[in-house]
Structure 1
Amino acid sequence: MIKRHFVASAPPPPKGVKYHHASEADGWLHVTGQLPSDPSAPASPFVEGIEAQTEQTFRNLITIIEAAGYRLGDTVFARIYLSNFERDYDGLNRAFCRFFTDDAQVPSRTTVGVAKLGRDALVEIDLVLHRAR
């Protein structure tokens, strides 16, 4: 059985776009890619800089994860997209390490450079989590 999670306190999908924030099945939670949107003003401009955008993106992810009954430490895999890989990779890593402080709990990940992200974001992140039942 698949359980879909729409989290009212997380940034909503753009107008005309349909998706749930996360889908859960058999202890696995797949969280939709998040941008650095401010949930209280989702159409407002993003904060500036890769570290600030990464931190806001993680706050959005944590809102969704916790609403689904998981915790960030349950993350198995992170997929990260950067619109300027060369410039922003180090800053992304600094912010990422602030959220995953325990080396034993750092998830596997892929980080890729892309030509463009929605709303000209510098970063987008999606996660896969697992929790034993």
Structure 2
Amino acid sequence: MSITRFGSAGGVGTGGQHLPFSSAVEAGGWLYVSGQTPMLDGEVVEGSIIEQSTLAIQKCVDIMRDAGYDMEHVVHVKVILTDARYFQSFNKVFKTFFGEHPPARICAVADLVVDCKVEVDVTCYKAP
């Protein structure tokens, strides 16, 4: 079994710091996308939970598609919200992305190391 790393050069975090992990790793038909926050070029994109959730999920989708996976390949999503009151609004955004192919999911409330409202990661499977 081979392992392929996508974005292994690392991205840019807050304050321009280098992020020392791959954006996704593929092994044996599985694709694990690292947690995505609503950041562009190392800066948090301010906005509501709707706007931040849309960007975080879209970043996951873009990484998946670059790796050759699509929405029907998503089997599990992990979500971290910084406030339980965001749950219903997040679900509305989630449904716009995954309504036709609902994956398994966990959603938790916790502090994030980045000053934003949400972080999302996805796990995909496609038979090799």
- TM-score normalised per structure 1: 0.86
Task: Report the identity percentage.
Answer: 27
Does the 8 A contact of 2:11 with 2:19 survive in 1? Answer: no
Match of 1:27 in 2: 29
Aligned residues: 124
Instruction: Return the alpha-carbon distance in structure 1 between the equivalents of residues 67 and 45 of structure 2.
Output: 25
**3-state SS of paired residue (1:119):** coil
Alignment partner of 1:94 is 2:96? no
Contact conserved, 1:75 with 1:128, CA < 8 A, in 2?
A: yes
Q: CA deviation at 1:7?
A: 7.8
Cα distance, 1:72 vs. partner? 2.1
Instruction: Report if aligned partners of 2:44, 2:116 keep a CA contact under 8 Å in 1.
Output: no
**Does residue 56 of structure 2 align to residue 57 of structure 1?**
yes
1:16 Cα offset (Å) = 3.8
Q: Which of the numbers 95, 98, 106 marks the counterpart of 1:110?
A: 106
Please identify, of 13-22 and 87-96, the stretch whose mean Cα deviation from structure 2 is larger. Answer: 13-22
- 1:62–1:71 contact (8 Å) kept in structure 2: yes
**Given residue 35 of structure 1, which amino acid in structure 2 is its aligned partner?**
T
CA distance in 1, matches of 2:76, 2:44: 28
Q: Structure 2 vs 1, CA of residues 127 and 22 (structure 1 numbering), >3 Å: closer, same or farther?
A: same
- Cα–Cα, structure 1 residues 21 and 36, in superposed 2: closer, same or farther, change >3 Å? same
Match of residue 117 from structure 2: 122
- Does the 8 Å CA contact 1:13/1:19 hold for their aligned counterparts? no
Question: Matches of 2:107 and 2:19 in 1, distance apart?
Answer: 25
Structure 1, gaps ≥5 residues long: none
